[in-house]
Amino acid sequence: MANPFREGQPQLVDEAIGSIRVASTLIAQFEAMAYSDAPSIEELELRIRQSQEIYPSIWQHLDDARRVLAARNRDVTAFDELRSHELGHVGVTNVETSQKLEVAPTLMAGVRIRYSATKSASFNLQGLERASRAVQSLMRTLPEVDWAALARAEDRQIAAAGSMWKGRWRAISKVVAAAIVVLIIAMVVRTFAMSAEPAKPAKPALRLSEIAGETEHATARARVAYLEDLTRRFKLTCDRALRPELVGLLREAGRPAAAASIETTACVRQLPACEPLYASIRRRLLARYSFAGDRVLDFSCRGIVITNAAGELDTAFAVSISGRGRDKTMVTYRGVTSTDGEHDVVAFELAPAPYAVGTGDLDGDHRDELVAVGGARLLVTRIAGDHFVDLEGPALPEGCRADVSLETPPEDGARTHDALVITADDPHPRAGCPPTGRQVYRLAGDELQIAE
């Protein structure tokens, strides 16, 4: 590529290129948050905070690029026209919250009380579109830059650096340095090839500053992707071990408010909400098992964390339905569906224990187990690929006065994962029943053990 700049200018123009590429990455991040569904109020609140930080940063980087380009007599009037319509740095507007309390009778539980809260927000999509056009206007002022080649180079660097996401960011600098060395070697080899075959026109080699710039942008994109993945894993698992690294990276990314929130606020796992798909999943199961609507005694749908085919943490819905068929015999089916409700992750089958207690991570592997009771049995069920693995818990013979529940660990406690709790209030328990008081269990291997 011929050098179109006067002596001493390439580094400054590279600065403009870098600012434009960073703005493009931030636009993609903002767009992903704006157009994907938030599974919970907590997730929406986090996206609102992130968007309010990212949106002004987009324009700051574009303003930096405009300053450099204007100083080099590039035509930035198209950008200035778009910028004049950007009256404020607001990423999200019209935030509204509503609350509702419902009380409804049920056949199995007596009375069910449900408290629900909803929150909505409007992302600044017009500003996002304006920022995208602003990026294009600045890119047009540099016709000598092969923007598509830059993007491809970034993608190659991210792919090549795949394993670096598993380590800390010191490892990234080593990968980046290695990438620069490889590109320099490639540039030298290309130079010799051009001199050996002068009759074949070849594309000029990249300048060293361009090579470093490409690698820097690729690293920035990889860093953003890693931060998003780390944030997602923390929100799904509340793994305390992830918190220090996440807080540090958020601060380094210029997002102190998000870092402070993660550091000082008690973590609540943000799992997908089944409510939007509740009716459609229920209708599908009613048709499959020929249940009449008035014969359904209980229906449960909970967001859980599982391991997908690639061995990564993923989300799904644990579903159970109890009802009476045409012969009026009560049966319970259980299964796991995808979060879009379109297919079964674990095929539905007759449940060995009819009453679903809840779901939680009982062994600390960041994947959820299912807990059910009935017929004098307490079962803890793992999800292993596409099937269930049932583990027997303490016996609960008929007539035992005991409650079974799941508890999340306190932020200031030693326990780091959920626990199964059996609370018996019978001063004279029958033979085989749990002893009076509170017993906390953890899952160790394939066995429930008393934890405290």
Average pLDDT of span 382-394:
92
The model's pLDDT over 58-107, given as tens digits with 9 standing for 90+, comes to: 888 888 889 988 988 899 999 888 888 775 544 444 444 444 444 344 43
Residue 430 is predicted with a pLDDT of 82
Average pLDDT of 292-318? 86
Compute the average pLDDT of residues 185-208.
46
pLDDT digits (tens, 9 = 90+) for 216-234: 566 777 888 888 889 999 9
Domain residue limits at 155: 10-264
Higher-scoring residue by pLDDT: 76, 184: 76
Whether residues 226 and 334 fall in one domain: no
Choose the final residue of a domain: 264, 297, 330: 264
Chosen domain end from 204, 232, 264: 264
- The pair phi, psi for residue 356, each rounded to 5°, is -75, 120
Residues 297 and 260 in one domain: no
Residues 175 and 32 in one domain: yes
Q: Is a pLDDT exceeding 80 seen at residue 109?
A: no
Mark whether 140 and 33 lie in a shared domain. Answer: yes
Which of 205-214, 282-291, 306-315 shows the lowest per-residue confidence on average (mean pLDDT)?
A: 205-214
Q: Which residue has the higher pLDDT, 38 or 419?
A: 419
pLDDT of residue 214: 56
Q: What is the pLDDT of residue 159?
A: 57
Mean pLDDT calculated for residue range 125-131: 80
Q: Which two tokens stand for residue 206?
A: 């990249």
Of 104-108, 161-165, 175-179, 323-327, which gets the smallest average pLDDT?
104-108
Q: How many domains does the chain have?
A: 2
Asked whether residue 445 is domain-assigned, the answer is no
Mean pLDDT of the chain: 76
Please indicate, yes or no, whether residues 255 and 281 belong to a single structural domain of this protein: no
Residues 293 and 208 in one domain: no
Asked if residue 143 is part of any domain, the answer here is: yes
* 439 lies in some domain: no
Decide if 286 is inside a domain.
yes
